[in-house]
Amino acid sequence: MTTEQYPCPNFINGEWSTPDVANFNPVYNPSTGEQISAAPMCDADIVNAAVEAADGAFHDWWQTPPVERIRILFRYKLLLEDKFEELAQSVTREHGKTLQEARGDVRRGIEVVEYACAVTELLKGECLENIARGIDCELQRQPVGICAGICPYNFPALVPMWMYPLAIACGNTFILKPSEKVPLTSIRLIELLEQAGLPKGVLNIVHGGRECVDAILTHPKVNAISFVGSSPVAKYIFETGTQHGKRVQAAGGAKNFVVIMPDAEIPKAVDGMVDSAFGCAGQRCMAGSTAITIGKAADSFIPEMAAAAKALKVGPTDRTPAGQLGAVISPEHRDRIKSLIEQGEAEGADIVVDGRTVSVPDYPEGFYLGPTILDKVQTNMKVHNDEVFGPVLNVIRADDMEQALHVANTCSFGNGCCIYTRSGQLAREFKHRVKAGMVGINVGIPAPMAYFPFSGWDYSFFGDLHIQGREAIYFYTRSKVTTTRWFSQGEGDIWHKDK
């Protein structure tokens, strides 16, 4: 089995097979526009087969001692390291991000596997003796059962690995539905997990779109669902899943604000913002999509930021020499981003750098859009209120931090907010008052490591327990509390009394 297979296979009960379905979604190399595979659009019957396989494997996997489950994950981690470059190249080829960005995608996923290898410590319960005289109480954490992960296209390695390593480490079985736009890396990841010795049925892959997702959301044997994607879909996933009795964590979109104070080290802020706004072509929920310049900060920040954006080489990321900013995922998405830029200009924003005119002559079929900077954006503009999810930086000019906090805190999203300043007092106030789940101080992308939760707020997250960290352990387990009393010989023994 290779990720070059066309079309993509499902993986159900330890068997790879291409389903007999009517429709397939094309998978492209965004750098060239070339179709490289196709994902089958599976229906409820195929989802049911995957769920039945997971159900059949659950009891034995739950009873497998955690240390034995970890040994499989340790072997898996070594295989991931061995195939690291291959996986990064797969991400680059089907997504379009640069090889350096793809390496980060894979590395952060491996870090979740490493964290999952600590599950013997993370699963430990609690106990207290003599809660009353002679009575003890203990808490244990047990798996919830069959879990499912529904993934977006923007991180083909990381987001799936946000989900299944921790879920299976906790003793659950799993159904993975990769994005139909980028299924190839997920297939390779699961091939390696199979090679590490994962038993049949513990993890299964199905491909598909809305019909496949709805089958997962409504299946009576699916107990928990993890989702990452846009906020409208996250809201739908949460509402539909919970209405059908599932535990759901649904991470949505964002508008992440980066406040540039007058005392900021502007070159450092520009370096951070280039990566934050334009890295992965802006296709990430932690992208710094809006810079709020305070007072005179705009005078130096905007020209330097414009120069840095214009210096970025746009082009194919899977060729040598490689572009510094790759293509977006599809021509439809490129056109949507262009329309938001056009509407922003029509509503009064100034275009400082215009990426709509970018040209890559050697690859005219690639889905390219250059870095774009819109200045003097207002909060009533569509480009401000919608998640653009592309290489577009909005600049809002504010008089002081009070105004900046008002802009950030009245936004419906709540993923991340950052500040560039040399003032500890201002940074502390910002951290305390800003309404976002992840905060950066002189950091442009405040995405946490695997052992901290990915803590979106408000319209950026639906659910109670977040992805990653201990919250993920709590999400993939449920607690059982046992209260125990042992009588002394003869005390309370009805058989003894009868005798």
Which H or E element spans position 81?
Answer: helix 66-82
- Contact (Cβ atoms closer than 8 angstroms) between residue 332 and residue 371: no
DSSP H helices in 293-330: 297-311
DSSP H helices in 355-452: 382-385, 401-409, 424-433
Q: Token pair of 354, please?
A: 């215009």
- Tell me which amino acid residue 63 is: Q
DSSP H helices in 378-463: 382-385, 401-409, 424-433
DSSP summary character for residue 76: H
Q: Determine which one of 147, 170, 280, 285 is catalytic.
A: 285
CA proximity to 141, closest of 120, 165, 161, 162: 120
Give yes or no: 42 in active site: no
- Contact (Cβ atoms closer than 8 angstroms) between residue 249 and residue 229: no
CA proximity to 202, closest of 83, 115, 19, 72: 72
CA proximity to 233, closest of 257, 217, 244: 217
DSSP summary character for residue 335: H
Taking the C-alpha atoms of residue 205 and residue 13, their distance in angstroms, rounded to an integer, is 9
Catalytic residues: 285
